[in-house]
Amino acid sequence: MRYAVRHTTTYTYDDLVTDSLGVAHLVPRSLPWQDVASYDVQVTPAAGDLEADVDYYGNHVTYFQVTEPHATLVVEGAGEIEVVAPVVPDDARATPWEQLRPLVATGSSVAAPPEAVDFALASALVDHAADAVEYAAASLAPGRAVGEAVGELMHRIHADFDYDRTATTVTSTVKDTMERRAGVCQDFAHLMLACLRAHGLAARYVSGYLATEPPPGKERVVGADASHAWVEVWLGGTTWLALDPTNDQEAGDRYVVVAWGRDYGDVPPLKGVIFTDARRSTMQVSVDVAPLG
């Protein structure tokens, strides 16, 4: 599938901002199954300084600074991306999950590259809350094939947790999500990461978009035309399995990968620091993922 993606963030302040510095993770990754035909990030007022770079995880990252006084800041990313469904070999799915624990050295373990070790460690927003550990244990039976085990975990999260914007705040933790049994895609991704990592598996947070064209009569896919988040589980070597607990499905050709990291904190679409006496700001975001056929 080919998509035209446009992601626009508008900040409006009640007083002038004299200086805005920002870091954006907006430019999608180029991947074997994803081709970024074109992509451009624009800042208004024009950024006197705008620099593209590649971060530690290989994500595209844009740094900018606006020093023209402004009461409105617009950051827009737009481009065309071609995606095919990533293929995960069956034998990789069949590996017993215990062999895929990078921090646990046992005779039968698959040797883990540093990247896998990194994603097996706890991170700032993914702590190993005790009840998440217990919750996940039900799916991770001894010797079970990893594909089956993590797939079931995804089904259970989808079934046991409600999608509810009101149940979540910026400071929501895995523990909060476990207690409220509700959240949004970011919370479910963090929860699933905690479940997997607490048992030794390596898994990463993926930030991106999910395109939806709801066929008549079918259930609406939650998260449509918005920033979305899901997870990828390490299956050994360089193979990762992408799972979306919010929609209970594997990520296919309707998923545009922007960036991955240990958790949301590594790859927020936009973060920044402003110098202002303004007291209030409003943020408007519009995301459009249009299929081009």
Partner 1 sequence: MTVLREYAAGLTQPTLDSGTAGATARYDEVVGPDGGLRASWKGLAELAVSITPDDLRRVGDEIARALEDDGVTYTRPGERAGPWRLDPVPVVIDAAQWAPLEIGLAQRAELLNAVLADLYGEQRLLADGVLPAAAVLGHPGFLRVVARPSAVDPRPLVLAATDLGRDERGEWRVLADRAQAPSGLGYAMENRRVISRVQPELYREAGLHRMEPFFSALRSALLQSAPGDLADPRVVVLSPGSQSETSYDQAFIASALGFPLVQGSDLVVRDGWVQMRVFGRLERVDVILRRVDAAWSDPLELRGDSRLGVAGLVEAVRRGRVRVVNGLGAGVLENPALLPYLPAVCEALLGEPLRLPSVSTWWCGEPDGLEHVLDHLDTLQVRRIDGPAVDLSGLRRQHLVPMLLAEPHRFVGQQRLPLSQSPTWESGTAVPRPLTLRAFTLRYGSAYRPLVGGLASIVEDGVSIASKDVWVLKAEPDAPDQGLSDVLPMTNTRATTATVPRILEDMFWFGRYAERAEDLLRLVLAAHALAEDFRNRPRSTGAAGLDVVMGALSRLAGPSPLDGADAAAGLDAEFRSILVDPARTGSAAHAFDGLRGALNGVRDQLSLDVWRSLGAIDRATATVGITARSHLVAESAGRMLTGVLSLQGVTASMIRDPGWHMIAVGRYLERALQVCHLLAATTTLRRGMDVDREVLNAVLVAAESAVTHRRRYRGSVRPGGVLELLVADASNPRSLAFSLEQVAEHLAALPASTGSSRPERLVADLRAELGETEIATLVAIGGETRPNLEEFLAQQLGQLQRVSDAVAELHLTTGPAPRPLADLALVDSLEATP
Rounded least distance, CB 137 to partner 1, Å: 14
Rounded least distance, CB 268 to partner 1, Å: 6
Structure tokens at 144: 């079970």
The residue among 92 and 185 lying less far from partner 1, judged by its C-beta, is: 185
The residue among 94 and 291 lying less far from partner 1, judged by its C-beta, is: 291
Rounded least distance, CB 148 to partner 1, Å: 26
What size, in residues, is the chain? 293
Task: Pick the closest to residue 247 from 266, 216, 274, 220 (CA basis).
Answer: 220
The residue among 147 and 229 lying less far from partner 1, judged by its C-beta, is: 229
Rounded least distance, CB 161 to partner 1, Å: 14
Rounded least distance, CB 87 to partner 1, Å: 27
The residue among 53 and 91 lying less far from partner 1, judged by its C-beta, is: 53
> Which positions touch partner 1 (CB under 8 A)?
11, 18-23, 48-49, 51, 53-57, 63, 65, 67, 102-103, 105, 112-114, 117-118, 120-122, 128, 165, 168-170, 184-186, 207, 223-229, 264, 266, 268-277, 281, 283-288
The residue among 61 and 83 lying less far from partner 1, judged by its C-beta, is: 61
Structure tokens at 79: 């481009």
φ, ψ of residue 67 in degrees (nearest 5): -110, 0
The residue among 65 and 239 lying less far from partner 1, judged by its C-beta, is: 65
Rounded least distance, CB 209 to partner 1, Å: 10
The residue among 101 and 147 lying less far from partner 1, judged by its C-beta, is: 101
Rounded least distance, CB 177 to partner 1, Å: 13
Q: How far is CA 22 from the centre of its chain?
A: 19
The rounded distance, in Å, linking the Cα atoms of 150 and 202 is: 12
